[in-house]
Structure 1
Amino acid sequence: MMTHAGLRDPDEVPPGLSDRVLICGVSGSGKTTLAQRLAERWGLTHTEIDALYHGPGWVPRPEFLDDVRALAAGERWVTEWQYTSKGAGDILEPRAQLALWLDYPLPLLRRRLIRRTLGRALSRKPLWNGNREGPVWQMLSRDPERNILAWQRQTMRSWHERMPATLERNPHLTVIRFRTPAETEAWLAASPRRTDAA
């Protein structure tokens, strides 16, 4: 079992306001949806980090890390805790005050990701910088570069593996681990609303 002073269960951390928040979890866990809700509730700016990383044609933007630095320098923000291997974690983690880890069961994550991927593929809704979800048949590919479901399966344990070292590097950071959506909803519902939002 993973234990660390900075890793807490929801009932161990009274819901309160934080100014800089990271949200982690595998693809399909609901990071962006929670970030949007938290931004509205706590008066934070939500920057979707995928929009900073993906340029047209899914090509990584050369300005990515500069944009992450600008984001991290802000006083009130929430974003998805991603692209740690690309250097984003080294920039965001020292500035963050709180992290929320959506560590949900795989069957739930799989259902959510299939629903999201199918919805995007069928609607052809633009995502970031003109990109769109690939065709539905890509969900049958074994290549995680093309198949988001394969990527989810490949990265399912990634936060379990990296979290201990991440917490050692960032002793100031409290990480709340949510194991079910019901835990997340209860904690969010109990959290205060910011009344001095700019």
Structure 2
Amino acid sequence: MVYGVTGSGKSTLAQELAERTGLPPVAVDELTWRPGWVPVPGDEQRKIISEICAGESWILDHGYGKWLDIVNERVELIIGLDYPRWLSLSRLVRRTIGNVLLRTPTCNGNTETVATAVADDSIVRWHFRSFARKRQRLREWAADPQGPPVLVFSHPRQVERWLAAQRPGPVRG
């Protein structure tokens, strides 16, 4: 599982890992949002993620608190993107503006608009509401010797160096 704050590049890294390893990627936002930005109910999300995690192999581009317990029972490696707020926020704002201007479809064909970008539940506001909690969770996992291995990266250059050092095939910590 690739884990990090909103805007840190989780989906991009997960896709890169999937291409390098041949493991199937799972775009989590596709599981949690229906067309029209309608949220998938929590119990349905848990059912879907349980089925995915019961599979032999997968790469998740995130873990939502509603079902992290399911993922953490099966995950073999957590790659943590613990980037500074200025970096993740600047990436997120740049991506959001681009998506609004270009009408780029995101999950399940949904598109961001000016209205969704400034709404109370916008992804940029979510960044501010969730940043500290996600960062703390990642650091707790990394400090827990009983949990799965956690690779924590504090800058994209660290990720690039780590990826360059990996041999073809399944990525291991």
TM-score by length of 1: 0.77
Equivalent residue, structure 2, for 1:185: 160
Give identity over the alignment, percent. Answer: 39
Higher Rg: 1
Unpaired runs of 5+ residues, structure 2, are: none
Runs of 4+ in structure 1 over 4 Å off: 137-141, 164-170
> Hey, what's the Cα distance between the residues in 2 that align with 1:179 and 1:167?
13
Equivalent residue, structure 2, for 1:3: none
> Hey, what's the Cα distance between the residues in 2 that align with 1:183 and 1:168?
19
Equivalent residue, structure 2, for 1:173: 148
> Hey, what's the Cα distance between the residues in 2 that align with 1:125 and 1:140?
17
Q: Deviation digits for residues 107-135 of structure 1, max 9, x if unmatched?
A: 11121111110111111122222311122
Determine if contact 2:35/2:109 at 8 Å carries over to the other structure. yes
Query: Is 1:50 aligned to residue 25 of structure 2?
Result: no
Equivalent residue, structure 2, for 1:35: 14
Equivalent residue, structure 1, for 2:46: 65
Unpaired runs of 5+ residues, structure 1, are: 1-21
Quick one: which of 81, 91, 102 aligns to 2:62?
A: 81
> Relative to total residues, which structure has the larger helix share, 1 or 2?
2
Quick one: which of 77, 87, 94 aligns to 1:115?
A: 94
Quick one: which of 142, 151, 158 aligns to 2:133?
A: 158
Note closer, same or farther for the CA distance 1:72–1:170 as it changes in structure 2 (3 Å cut). Answer: farther
Deviation at 1:167, TM superposition (A): 6.2
Deviation at 1:190, TM superposition (A): 0.5
Note closer, same or farther for the CA distance 1:65–1:180 as it changes in structure 2 (3 Å cut). Answer: same
Quick one: which of 93, 98, 104 aligns to 1:125?
A: 104
Report how many aligned residue pairs link the two structures.
168
